[in-house]
Structure 1
Amino acid sequence: MQTGFRTIKTVNANEIHMRDPFVFAYGAERKYYLFGTTFADGCGDQDPIFEVYVSDDLTLWTGPYAAFQPPKGFWGVRHYWAPEVFEVDGRFYMFASFKGGIGENRGTGILVADHPAGPYRVHSEGPVTLAGHECLDGTYYEDDDGQRWIVFCHEWTELYEGKIKALRLTKDLKASYGEAVTILNAADRPWIRLFGDPRIEKTGYLTDAPFLYRARNGELLLLWSSYSVPNYGDSGLGGYTVAIARSANGRMDGPWTHDERLFMDRNAGHSSLFRDFENRLWICTHYPDTPHGQERPLFLPVEETENGLALR
């Protein structure tokens, strides 16, 4: 594992300031690797990087190590957000969001390494999300036909009504191709509230953090995050939340339906799922979402029910 400029320490998860956490459970070593948004924009003379922590038990974590340090001339210059790691054909691929330079869009690029902790190297030639558009939070999925996909958010800052879309990936994961499949439009949801950013004088319906899970009943479940109105349902808090959409036939092109009940509505979100080495299912999320600066990775046990997922 590669050291960066920060001191390596062993700490509890609640001592790690991180948004968008993601756990990769590596069975070959029986170790958990934790990635997330940490040093996203650099500071002083240090460039932005992606970092990684390692654990044997999901409680004590050692790090941060340097998972990806951008080479000179790399297209992503800031906003190093939401890294996710997947093992494909014996190699490890990081899907991560970057913002390009002046006049360039945000997008998800793909990095590669020979070990889940890195060091990661540039793999795709620039972003593999929609060219010329503001996109982020790309995740990976391979369907039953062997088709590889990137599922991502088409940003509310460009569209007003944020969307989640999918593009086919080439087998070597270097590029996307074909027409995008639209999975959902955030403005259609009865629980969602307008999100605003006064710095850019915009409001819109935000989409964050798609993550796909194939259920035992064959349905394809999509977890995603946005902000909910207060008092939605019987206990809505009106904060950052996690919702579930589902494709009953397991296909990326759906049709997709939406659970009316929010999966989480507790000022927590940007979630993914993983299994521990006893095959128990967990959700990995950051909590709280606000106030900013207090975000910590949180792991909660999940069980699969006949018609979906439930927190245990």
Structure 2
Amino acid sequence: MITGFRTIKKVTTEEIHMRDPFVFTDHQAKKYYLFGTSFADGCGDEEPIFEVYVGSDLQHWEGPYVAFQPPKGFWGVRHYWAPEVFKIDEKYYMFATCKGGIGEHRGTGILVSDHPAGPYTPHSEQAITPENWECLDGTYYEDRDGQRWMVFCHEWTQEYEGKIKAIRLTSDLKNSFGEPVEILNAIDMPWIRPFGDPRIEKEGYLTDAPFMYEAGNGDLLLLWSSYSIPNYGDQGLGGYTVAIARSRSGKIEGPWEHDPDLLMDRNAGHSSLFHTLDGQLHLATHYPDTPHGHERPLFLRVTEKNDGLGIERIE
């Protein structure tokens, strides 16, 4: 692990300001590596980076260490968002969202390392989401036939109706190919409300944070986040939420259907799943979503039911 300009400290989960947390469990080293959106746009003369915290439980951490320091000329210049790490072919690959330079779109590219904590180096030459699309939050999935995919969001800032799509990856993870498969259109959800950003004077139906999970019953589940209307979910907050789409065929091509009940409607979201060192399934999410500046990682135990997932409640 490498250090940067930020002081390495021992901290608890509640002390880490982070959005979009993602936990990689290293069963061999008996360590957890916590990634997320933290130093996303740099500060002063410091460039944006991806950071990592390391711990042996889910409460006590050491960091932040530098997981990725962009080299000169790297395609991503800001908006270092939502890193996710996967072990593939005995290496570690970070799916990383960045915004390109003037005239270039946001997208997700792939970095590589020999260690889960990094340091990571560029693997794909640029974002491998479609070049002319505004995209974010790419995640990895390998289907039962061995085809590798990136599942990502086609942004509401470009589309108005945010969508989640999947695109095939070459076996070396350096490029994508073929026409993307559309998994969902946000506007079709009965619980969703428009999201507005006054800074850019735009409104639309947002999609965030796709994450794939193969359920024991054979369903392929997709977790994702957006904003719900008031009085829909169990708390009726009308805030950031987590929904589930499912492909009962187990295939990424679907057909896809959408659970009527939200997995979580508690001003929390951008979630992923991981197994703890003792094999328990957990959800990583940030809570609360607002007010901004208060976001912290939150880890909740998940139980898999016959036809869905159940989580501990946020009180």
C-alpha distance 202-8 of structure 1, shift in aligned 2 (>3 A): same
More deviation, 146-155/226-235: 226-235
1:292 aligns with 2:292: yes
Distance between the aligned counterparts of 1:78 and 1:234, measured in 2?
36
Letter of the 1:139 partner, please give it: T
The Cα of 1:278 is off from its aligned counterpart by 1.1
DSSP 3-state at the match of 2:267: coil
DSSP 3-state at the match of 2:158: helix
Distance between the aligned counterparts of 1:76 and 1:131, measured in 2?
13
Q: How does 1:175-186 map to 2 (within 5 A)?
A: 175-186=175-186
TM-score, reference length from structure 1: 0.99
TM-score, reference length from structure 2: 0.98
Tell me the residue number matched to 1:281.
281
Distance between the aligned counterparts of 1:82 and 1:21, measured in 2?
7
Q: How does 1:38-53 map to 2 (within 5 A)?
A: 38-53=38-53
Tell me the residue number matched to 1:122.
122
Does the CA-based 8 Å contact 2:195-2:227 persist in structure 1?
yes
DSSP 3-state at the match of 2:28: coil
Does the CA-based 8 Å contact 2:235-2:266 persist in structure 1?
no
Does the CA-based 8 Å contact 2:10-2:63 persist in structure 1?
yes
Letter of the 2:195 partner, please give it: F
The Cα of 1:235 is off from its aligned counterpart by 2.7
Tell me the residue number matched to 2:240.
240
Write the deviation string for residues 79-133 of structure 1: whole angstroms up to 9, x where unpaired: 0000000000000000010000000000001000000000000000100111111
1:142 aligns with 2:124: no
Write the deviation string for residues 29-55 of structure 1: whole angstroms up to 9, x where unpaired: 010000000000000110000000001
Q: How does 1:189-204 map to 2 (within 5 A)?
A: 189-204=189-204
Letter of the 2:173 partner, please give it: L
Distance between the aligned counterparts of 2:7 and 2:233, measured in 1?
45
Which segments of structure 1 move beyond 2 Å, counting only runs of 4 or more? Answer: none
Structure 2: which 5+ residue stretches go unaligned?
none
Letter of the 2:163 partner, please give it: K
1:226 aligns with 2:230: no
Distance between the aligned counterparts of 1:238 and 1:8, measured in 2?
37
Tell me the residue number matched to 1:267.
267
The Cα of 1:277 is off from its aligned counterpart by 1.4
Distance between the aligned counterparts of 2:104 and 2:146, measured in 1?
32
Aligned alpha-carbon RMSD (Å): 0.6
Q: How does 1:9-48 map to 2 (within 5 A)?
A: 9-48=9-48
The Cα of 1:236 is off from its aligned counterpart by 1.8
Paired residues, number: 312
Structure 1: which 5+ residue stretches go unaligned?
none
